């Protein structure tokens, strides 16, 4: 049985003046999927998300979101989508409950009090229900924003860097909530710069200059990038890393704790570079590329 496509758009284009922000993007996301949206700042992720939910009209291309035409049915799409922006956008001088009640009123929900109470319980906000939103920490603000996004029970959740600036524990708890909702059938498209978050997605899509460069499962993308990676242990790792960065074939050389990690596409050049530091008491061995290695490699590339 073929899974239903919640997002199915083709050849999307969007420019602002002479700058092409989205350039021929085709994207499909299946029902119940958590799809990660990756790319450098300015790669077109936010504009794409806004086109999908009808806030921005494409200059060209088209398709469907939730089975509705993104050009003709934008108002209907917005009623069935939860969109969480990069910045907290609720009223600081209202409590958690008051903010959610306001959102429930905007969507004209039946049994508003019951709906608000239910989402507060589900998101673990009960202890902060009467606290002013402006007094919440970053992690709790993001949890409130997520609660507001799903209060009307959308079929699609669009998250634009939802955990930026949030501590590791809060990020993990936030993602646990996302997976819980995906298990209930919610489809999620989420942009992120955190590789640990990208690895929690069923599939990732990488954009560069508004174009789709690579997509697939995190494991497939990591292994399919063609990168060769060596790790070294020993003395003076920082000195070695600094020298290696300027050598032919070395795209990245970085120290992680007690390990130096070097990556590149040219195996022969990389092997020669690492051999040159064998006498400096470094021990080298080849390892599997990680998603972060591929991400850094893609960031350094330019699309034609």
Q: Please report the pLDDT score of residue 277 as a whole number.
A: 76
**Residue 8's Cα: distance from chain center in Å?**
19
Domain boundaries of the chain, sorted by first residue: 5-222, 228-288
Q: Please report the pLDDT score of residue 235 as a whole number.
A: 87
Strand-pair partners of 25: 12
Mean pLDDT of 218-243: 92
Return d(Cα 262, Cα 252) in angstroms, integer.
6
- Statement: 5-222 belongs to CATH 3.30.420.40: no
Q: 249 vs 82, 130, 263, 271, 279, CA distance in Å?
A: 45, 58, 8, 9, 20
171-222 tens-digit pLDDT: 999 999 999 999 999 999 999 988 999 999 999 999 998 999 999 999 999 9
Residue 1 has pLDDT above 50, yes or no: no
- Statement: 228-288 belongs to CATH 3.30.70.100: yes
Mean pLDDT of 108-128: 94
Kindly indicate the confidence band of residue 3, based on its pLDDT and cuts at 50, 70 and 90: low
């Amino acid at each position: 049985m073929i899974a239903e496509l919640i997002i199915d758009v083709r050849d999307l284009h969007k420019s602002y003046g002479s700058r092409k922000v989205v350039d021929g993007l085709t994207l499909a996301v299946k029902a119940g999927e958590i799809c990660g949206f990756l790319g450098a700042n300015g790669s077109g992720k936010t504009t794409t998300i806004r086109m999908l939910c009808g806030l921005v009209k494409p200059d060209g291309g088209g398709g469907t979101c939730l089975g509705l035409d993104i050009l003709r049915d934008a108002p209907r799409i917005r009623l069935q989508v939860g969109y969480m922006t990069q910045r907290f956008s609720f009223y600081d001088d209202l409590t958690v409950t008051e903010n959610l009640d306001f959102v429930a009123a905007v969507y004209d929900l039946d049994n508003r009090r019951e709906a608000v109470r239910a989402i507060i319980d589900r998101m673990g906000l009960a202890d902060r229900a009467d606290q002013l939103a402006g007094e919440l920490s970053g992690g709790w603000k993001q949890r409130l924003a997520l609660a507001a996004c799903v209060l009307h029970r959308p079929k699609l959740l669009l998250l634009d860097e939802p955990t930026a600036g949030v501590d590791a524990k809060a990020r993990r708890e936030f993602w646990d909530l996302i997976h819980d909702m995906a298990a209930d059938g919610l489809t999620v498209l989420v942009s992120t710069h955190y590789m640990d978050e990208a690895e929690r997605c069923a599939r990732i899509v990488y954009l560069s200059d508004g174009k789709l460069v690579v997509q697939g499962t995190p494991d497939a993308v990591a292994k399919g990038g063609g990168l060769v990676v060596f790790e070294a242990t020993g003395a003076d790792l920082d000195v070695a890393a600094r020298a290696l960065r300027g050598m032919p074939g070395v795209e990245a050389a970085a120290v992680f704790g007690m390990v130096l990690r070097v990556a590149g596409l040219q195996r022969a050049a990389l092997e020669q570079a690492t051999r040159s530091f064998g006498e400096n008491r470094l021990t080298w061995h080849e390892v599997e590329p990680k998603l972060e290695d591929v991400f850094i490699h893609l960031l350094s590339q330019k699309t034609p």
